[in-house]
Structure 1
Amino acid sequence: MREALTVLFDLLERRWLPVVTRDGPDRVSLRGALERAHEVGLAGRPEDHAALLRLLLALYASAARPADAGEWDAAWRSPALDAGRIGGYLDDHADRFDLFSPTRPFWQCAALSEPNREADVLEVASWGSGTAQFASHLLLPPQPMAPRDAAVALVLLQSWHPGGIQSGHRDDPASRAGKVYGGKASPLSSITHLRVTGRTLKDEILLNCPPGQRSPGDRPVWEREAPAPPMLAREPEGPLDLWTWPTRRVRLFSDEDGHVTDVAVHDGDRPADPGAAAVRWDPGAAVTARGTRLAITDAGHQPLPWAAARLLAPEPDSGGCAVLEHLVAAAERGVLPTSSTWEAVMVRAEHTTAHRAALSGIVSLHAPLGPAGVLGDPARRAALAEYAGLPWAVQRQITRTASAALGILSAIAAARPGLSLAAHLPYAWERFAANPGEEAEDWVRALAGAVDRVADSSGGDLMAAARIRTDALLALPAPLDPPEEGH
């Protein structure tokens, strides 16, 4: 048995969160991030950003979430977040944010007394199969991890860790030969997550935190009792619970300098269906009409920057995202300047198996949404969403015709890079979304030009090319002049 050294690292006061300031990259504490949210931006890779933002959302919503649209509008117009309410809340729970507390380590299980992994288990690269091929540093002896980096890594592990077989604690009755089977993927690993970007962290917190009341029983991890080691089957009780979901029982073990050298990791809380739970409670979950994760790349792994705007369609079969609905409502109320343009960042975990037992990567996508004046006008917003749906309609026709004309399976046709419409539309959506009213015709012409290039990629079969071109152009809204040669 190994006792963790009591080396304090107070996440409310120590500088560990990566941010961007006017002077460049920096680190701030949780308290500092919320106090200075109006003058800093959250930094990090898209997958880091998404996980850390959800932690900050849970803190803000626990302390000062606006109850309705009127309170939200007042918070948006205020120069800073409500420091009084937030500071009082943090003071009330200050004993729950020490990374190395012997009794209540943050987002960990104090009852774990024996490490079973080295510090490199905290690295996202270690959660895939055969990862040493792509992360050769994992073949070297792991180095102690600085506490500020370990704090970030802990948030990522609880947010992104894949499912499958997990290490079982000796006190867990579900453990068999030291393993627990059927482990569930963490919340972010189970959905396509969308966040609306903002100029500052204050803007980003408010844009991604729709107003509302706390659900009965909904508490973040620091308001809950310390967990026991065994895996626990239960369902999230609200967004605060989900944003800080204890996917794994974890404990960090440090040396005398406070650097993490070893880690205990076992299965944690387990919902029946992590994806369904996340869709129910996470306002950033972006889903199709069937409730499944929204695709942000096509079958050939080309990005689809129009994916978020398609969710703005008024039809019930267009899918949705509560954060987007919140942005639209703010635009309709006139709180956002009509000329301001908005963008979403979407992240989605890709796994090596259907059981989501190992990560093959985390894909990110910047998705322009257009000006607030368009988002706030139902007719113009519907038109924007309709134009965002055109690439899907055209791609479906390309795949269908190419499959028949070339005598290949639809799945093979969809995965061919040359038959990907998205591969032939560099920055076209970005130009259109910046000014939908003036660029609509150019967007349709760009789609037609992409169709022409796709047809020319059909392997030299002139008849197949002609069929692909003709059928795909029929999916566009109006007859167009043929694209100029070479375009």
Structure 2
Amino acid sequence: MNSPPTFNLLHEPWIPVRPLNGDPVREVSLRDLILDARTYSRIDDPSPLVTVALLRLTLALLHRALRGPKNTEQAAEWFRNGFPTDTLVAYFQTWEDHFDLFHPEKPFWQVRDLTLDLEGGKYRSHWTRLGTEVGSANTLPLFNVAGRPGGDRSDALTPAQAARRLAEGQTFLLGGLIKRFTTAAKAAPVATFALTAAQGNNLHETLCLNLTVYGGQDSDRAAWEREPLTVQSVREFYEDELSEVPTGRADRYTWPSRSVLLIPEINKDGGGLRKLLPSAK
């Protein structure tokens, strides 16, 4: 009997980084990204949308783990001396199982009870729904002349690729007209904004330069700190256009703009995530 799939974003390599020593781009875990940030020049995904989404996710994690910076003096201390490792490791241990992409009860940044049986399973779709620049199965891709418009797509993703697309989609996807079982969000938090990020001499400096003074940390919550999303909570969430507003910076950085559940499928070539199950667009 096969064991349930698991892919913990704190421990599994999935974030592409460019090492300072000139080695090729490689993938690292979220934990290693933060703890070894001085050894990387930057997060470096081929998609700038994915790169920015991963930066925002990392900033949200740092804000929540460190509950700061409380002021510019603390920000300067972290810039010079590094982040407090013990505090970070303790936080990672506390929330570890909330970072599993395929957790049966609390899948990371997803709606846990979207199932293949939901209203006849008609909401199942291809992973390209989460990639703005790759185009979905029935649309022309944007900025991707090699993409295949229309038709039935069956190409697969690895869990690492799926995690990156999930971060991109929750950060940047536009609102849609598909109502289905809940009203669609008008758009992801920064779908229509121009973004800038200060860049340091290495990834640690870049993270520090973009960790602005963090107020309201007692009321703020990141997606993994909230109760797991369910179909019912999503319905209530959007029943009045938007029944809630972000409680703080980390909540905004990890806002659930789409109802998604990643469904892993084993293909004949030996694995990989082939399709996913989104809900309202």
Give TM class, smaller chain: 0.7 to 0.9
CA distance in 1, matches of 2:103, 2:180: 23
Specify whether residues 81 and 59 from structure 1 end up closer, same or farther in structure 2 by C-alpha distance, changes over 3 A only. Answer: same
- Structure-2 residue corresponding to 1:68: 71
**1:266 aligned to 2:268?**
no
Gap runs ≥5 in structure 1: 173-179, 269-487
Equivalent position amino acid for 1:145 in 2: L
Give 1:129 deviation, angstroms: 9.0
Partner of 1:10: 8
Measured after TM superposition, the shift of residue 246 of structure 1 is 0.3
Alignment of 1:235-246 (within 5 A): 235-246=245-256
> Within 2, Cα distance between the matches of 1:127 and 1:235?
29
- Taking only the aligned residue pairs, the percentage that are identical comes to 27
Distance 1:166 1:259 in 2: 28
Higher helix fraction (1 or 2): 1
Q: What amino acid is aligned across from residue 280 of structure 2 in structure 1?
A: D
Contact (CA 8 Å) 1:158, 1:186: kept in 2 or not? yes
**Counterpart in the other structure of 2:135:** 126
The 8 Å contact of residues 137 and 149 in structure 2, kept in 1 or not, is answered as no
TM-score (norm 1): 0.49
Bigger CA radius of gyration? 1
- Structure with greater strand percent: 1
In structure 1, give the amino acid aligned to 2:255.
Answer: W
Aligned length: 253
Distance 1:24 1:217, change over 3 A: same
**Residue 31 of structure 1 aligns to a residue in which SS?**
helix
Where does residue 38 of structure 1 map in the other structure? Answer: 38
Structure 1 CA distance for aligned equivalents of residues 250 and 173 of structure 2: 19
Alignment equivalent of 1:252, drawn from 262, 266, 271: 262
Q: Supply the RMSD in Å over aligned alpha carbons.
A: 2.2
Return the offset for 1:120: 2.6
Cα deviation, residue 139, structure 1: 4.1
User: What does 1:47-446 correspond to in 2, within 5 Å?
Assistant: 47-64=49-66, 65-78=68-81, 80-114=82-116, 115-124=123-132, 125-126=134-135, 130-132=139-141, 134-139=145-150, 141-169=153-181, 172=182, 180=183, 183-229=185-231, 230-231=234-235, 232=237, 233=242, 234-256=244-266, 259-267=272-280
1:126/1:132 Cα in 2 relative to 1: closer, same or farther (>3 Å)?
closer
1:267 and 1:235 mapped to 2: Cα distance?
19
Which of structures 1 and 2 has the larger relative contact order (alpha carbons within 8 angstroms, sep 6+)? Answer: 2
Change (3 A) 1:164 1:116: same
Instruction: Report the secondary structure of 1:214's partner residue.
Output: coil
8 Å CA contact retained: 1:18, 1:25: yes
SS in structure 2 at match of 1:93: helix
Against the structure 1 CA distance between its residues 216 and 27, is the aligned structure 2 distance closer, same or farther, given a 3 Å change threshold? same
Counterpart position of 2:119: none
Shift of 1:216: 4.0
